[in-house]
Structure 1
Amino acid sequence: MLNSTQFIQYLMSMSSLIRQYTGQVIVVKYGGAAMQDESLKRIVIDDILFLHLLGIKVIVVHGGGPIINQWLYKCNIQPVFENGVRITDQKTMEIVQMVLEGKVNKNLVSMLNLFGNYAIGLSGRDLNLIHPIPLSTNSNDFVGTVSKVDPKILNSLLNDGYIPVIASIASDSTGRTYNINADTVAGALAKALKAKKLIFLTDTFGIMRDIAKPDTLLKTLTIPEVLDLKKNNIISGGMIPKVDCSIDVLHSNVQAVHIINGCLPHALLQEVLTSERVGSMLTL
């Protein structure tokens, strides 16, 4: 329990960070188990709203992998992944669109708007926000990556005081729709908007030397250290797209990338507004 002097000191330390981030863009990629647990989701939503009310320009990019898998199983389709990226045929693409745009996106927007007109839902298809290109040479694989971002609509929404909530699908000039890894989309938006931070809110504690031991969490890393961990297969699986994206955005003048556990209550606020690190922070 803090006494009054300690509490004032705590508020003063927080105020310096608030001044640093007010008016700056922070991109939050939201996914994993924290999105499935309704009580945790409510806490994450409250954290995002709190940052927004402090004058921080927050963009939310969401995944929905576990929910997509649930619907695939209902349709007797087996999910398939390669290097942490979902392989997406036409039937899978239809379900991805339905889940991400119609279910996950609108649910998050509704929760953010319970106490005011704060959020607006988009996908990469809206106003050609994201220009995709295929990731595979296989014409039956609808996995894409980001070729270009047109940030005009996002800048307009942020300047007008809204929280854009973005589903990670996009259509090319022929109308073909692609499933894009949400980490990749979050990174591309962070670069295009010159974000202060990119935060991956996931269901892991961060980068650990041993994934079975949370106390091996590496709280601060540089790019050379990350590359060494990747080379030695300490970073693998679904963490690979996150670190590849992190390296890319750090080279594009994003100040820091954070990988934190969204299953920890108020992890987002603790990571942004205090000097205590609850996840991994990556810098140049």
Structure 2
Amino acid sequence: MSDKMSQPQKMVGKDYENGGISAHVQARILAEALPHLIRYDEQYVVIKFGGHAMGDAALSQAFAQDIVYLKQSGVNPIVVHGGGPQIARMLDKLAIQSSFVNGLRVTDKPTVEVVEMVLAGAINKEIVSAINQQGGKAVGICGKDANLMIAERITEIPDPTSNLMQAVDIGYVGDPVEVNPHIVDVISNSDLIPVIAPVGLSRSGETLNINADSFASALAAKMKVKRLLLLTDVAGVLDKDKNLVASLSVDEARQLIRNGTISGGMIPKVEGCIEVVEAGVEAVVIIDGRVPHCVLLELFTEHGIGTLVGQENRI
């Protein structure tokens, strides 16, 4: 990626013709993207799609265009999506009460049925349709298909104050324990694009709701993909002056957690990035999904737009 050097050159004068970018500038942009196109040729990239971008029609369209562009450029994109707000709206419509423990939805039997219906049904097919409307060939699956994602119920979570583990019963909520990516390989190694809902199975056959970040991270780690992109509603990791940190080595990321620069909800996200990198993924990037075409900006420009976490500072 992304040495994230200087800002892009400003285009003025004849760079713009008839209200758009001139052919000369378009050619220059394509030429500058060439090294990155070569770098990601035939590589797997897992992209977790969620947050505000999923609820915004223009951003969703731009995301779909990015995914089609990646596939047409020789990259193998794998989309994993969330859907918390959409699940909440459906639960409200059905008058099903829902609560949270440390950010995890307590998921009883009626709730998990709604979760599966919304994630593997409505949302998954919306994303598939959006990609297909842009000229792609997307296929929607979930973690239950071909035993892609086996999980076990979460029975303990860290206490937010002491960070010690505490026992919980949050129902049908799972953590990945086994990944079988054969179905993803089969789809990706054709002209198709997999779009995956984060619903999995326990070893006893129970349906389990899995956090989309955790699902995407487990899949990326198992497949040792080139990049894992986590689309969020923040710009990335910020320093103490609230400036974006462009890239971090694993050691630097741990140091920022220890000294309090990385705090709150960003701590588990960065810790998850570290785990994925140490499992063999070249780098994980936290990027702002509210920026149109953020995926292309991250992968195919020198600057990137998010915070990259890798074994070394700049990859």
Judged with a 3 Å threshold, the aligned counterparts in structure 2 of structure 1 residues 241 and 182 are, in CA distance, closer, same or farther, namely farther
After TM superposition, give the deviation of residue 283 of structure 1 in Å. 0.8
Check if 1:243 corresponds to 2:270: yes
Q: Give CA-to-partner distance per residue, 1:23-67, whole Å, 9 cap, x none.
A: 000000000000001111111111111111101000000011121
Post-superposition offset of 1:80: 0.9
1:86-145 Cα distance to aligned partner (Å, 9 max, x none):
332333222211210111111111111225461111110011111111121656521111
1:156 to 162, 177, 186: 186
Taking structure 1 as the reference length, the TM-score comes to 0.91
Q: List, as ranges, runs of 4+ consecutive aligned residues in structure 1 with deviation greater than 6 Å.
A: none
Match of 1:227 in 2: 254
Matched, 1:144 2:174: yes
SS at match of 1:132: strand
Deviations 1:189-248 (A, max 9, x none): 1122220000001211111236xx8x5111111112222333345434443442222111
Letter in 2 for 1:219: A
Q: Which residue of 1 aligns with 2:40?
A: 21
Q: What residue ranges of structure 1 are gaps of 5+ in the alignment?
A: none
Gaps of 5+ in 2: 1-10, 16-22, 157-167
Native 8 Å contact 1:183 1:241 kept in 2: no
Task: Give the conservation status (yes or no) of the 8 Å contact 2:238–2:245.
Answer: yes
C-alpha change, 1:41 and 1:176, in structure 2 (3 Å) is same
Question: Would you say 1:265 and 2:292 are equivalent positions?
Answer: yes
- The residue aligned with 2:148 is 129
CA contact (8 A) 1:130 1:146 kept: yes
Aligned to 1:114: 133
1:176 is matched with 206
Partner of 1:57: 76
Structure 1 window deviating more from structure 2 (234-243 vs 245-254): it is: 234-243
CA 1:177/1:232 → structure 2, altered by over 3 Å: closer, same or farther? farther
**Pairwise CA RMSD:** 2.1
**Fraction of identical pairs, as percent:** 38
CA distance 1:140–1:205, change in 2 (3 Å): closer
Over 3 Å counting, the alpha-carbon distance change for 1:120 and 1:237 in structure 2 is farther
- Distance in 1, Cα, partners of 2:141 & 2:171: 23
Query: In structure 1, what residue type is equivalent to 2:278?
Result: H
Distance 1:79 1:52 in 2: 39
Relative to structure 1, the CA distance from residue 6 to residue 117 in structure 2 (aligned partners, 3 Å threshold; closer, same or farther) is closer
